Structure 1
Amino acid sequence: MIRNIYRKADELGWDGLSAVDRTAWYNRWVDDEMLGGVLTRYMPRERARMWIKDVPMKHYNRARSGIGPYADLVSTPLPSAYDIARIALGEDWTVLSGTLREKPNRCQVTDGQGQMLMIWGAPRNLKSLVWAGLNARVDALPSPIVVINLLQGERLTENERRRHQKVCELAGLAVRVITTRTTRSTSSGRESPPLRLPDG
């Protein structure tokens, strides 16, 4: 069932939907015999709706990033932490095993000589990214870098870009803006996402 929910979210372009549109789709999914119809055999309709919102869809973007319990159920994954590191920092950078964390997505990366704490997410999550970076500095973790990941087709205005840069500078955090795109899983595994150069 979760795989079907994720497939429908992919088809709708979930990241681009407004809160009102998302609410409408939660209601439609509850009324769908193959989704909500299964759940409402065991729970009230409103509880089924909340389950869809608070369980699979709460994990949706983390799962697409290869993180969390539902990562193997997505059909259009986002670039992995390894991909993000290569795009934002360069081909020599890779993820240190066992350091991947979520809420927000972050991990330690190395080029074989130095280490950094890479924290990444969408522009709308800037507050969480910056807060994680500040906490990393307080906790004496490797030097944090914020990576703002735009999906193909998304844009930041010049004012937004300057504001993001200024917020990170005031927090003492390095920042990169990159553009990536989703990929489609195949029977042989996940395709390598086309790598895009950092935007700045």
Structure 2
Amino acid sequence: MSELPDNLRRQVVAEVYRQAGELDWDGLTDRQRSTHYDQWLDDPGIGQQLTRFLTRERARVWLKDVPMKEYARARSGIGVYADLVTMRLPSPGQIAQQVLGSGWSMVIGSIQEKPNRCLITDGREQRLMMWGPPKTLRDLVWAGINALIDTPHQPLLVVATPQGQRLDEGEKRRHIRLGQVAGLDVRHTVLRMTHISRPNSPA
């Protein structure tokens, strides 16, 4: 929807992300999210700005397909809106350290998407780390199988659960077993949010 001026687009995304952070978006049900989309359409800083250029229906689609489709990646420091979030997930390098230890870090410039992945190193070897929430396990496993064929780097699949959600031990064992069948290293970790103060957002 190129009819939106760039400065307005970023202003609206920043306000959506500020409110989503306050709402604990991950913890909302689909019905609650739908309610908030409707509320955003009536918000002077969001919907009333968008409907200067879009119909109300198209503005609602835009909210779902642009800022909120990018929200999880932006909180991981990935994508064009990464600098607009107020709640930040651990960076890829921090995830690697949570799973493998403090000696690991991300190889700069190696981040790719769909699924999220990057090279990580401990100074001696490099691995291809892929990560995502439990619902993306199938995509992670398929990408990992392809990586075994297409890259020289041993894949590491990280099932990353947001803080406040949990997997039971049976689910974790099943994930690990599925990885073993495919010849893949599957690990689990919890992603804890940190708050980022913005110049025009509450501390």
Partner deviation per Cα, 1:165-184 (whole Å, 9 max, x = no partner): 12212221101111231111
- 1:36-115 superposed matches below 5 A: 36-115=47-126
Whole-angstrom CA distance in 2 between matches of 1:97 and 1:180? 21
Unaligned 5+ runs, structure 2: 1-11
The 2-side partners of 1:36 and 1:109 are apart by 41
State, as a whole percentage, how many aligned pairs show the same letter. 50
1:1-200 map, 5 Å = 1-186=12-197
SS of residue in 1 equivalent to 2:53: coil
The AA in structure 2 aligned to 1:152 is Q
Across the aligned residues of Structure 1 and Structure 2, the Cα RMSD in angstroms comes to 1.5
- Whole-Å Cα distance in 2 between the matches of residues 108 and 99 of structure 1? 6
How far apart, CA to CA, are the structure 2 residues paired with 1:20 and 1:125? 22
Distance in 2 separating the partners of 1:116 and 1:145: 7
The answer to whether the 8 A contact 1:117-1:141 is kept is no
How far is 1:61 from its partner?
0.6
Q: TM-score, normalised by structure 2?
A: 0.87
Larger deviation, residues 83-92 vs 145-154: 145-154
Using structure 1 for the length normalisation, give the TM-score.
0.89
Aligned pairs, number = 188
Equivalent position amino acid for 1:108 in 2: L
Hey, what's the Cα distance between the residues in 2 that align with 1:118 and 1:139? 14
List structure 1 runs of 4+ shifted beyond 6 angstroms.
none
Unaligned runs of 5+ in 1: 189-200
Query: Match of 2:9?
Result: none
Q: Distance in 2 between matches of 1:47 and 1:119?
A: 34
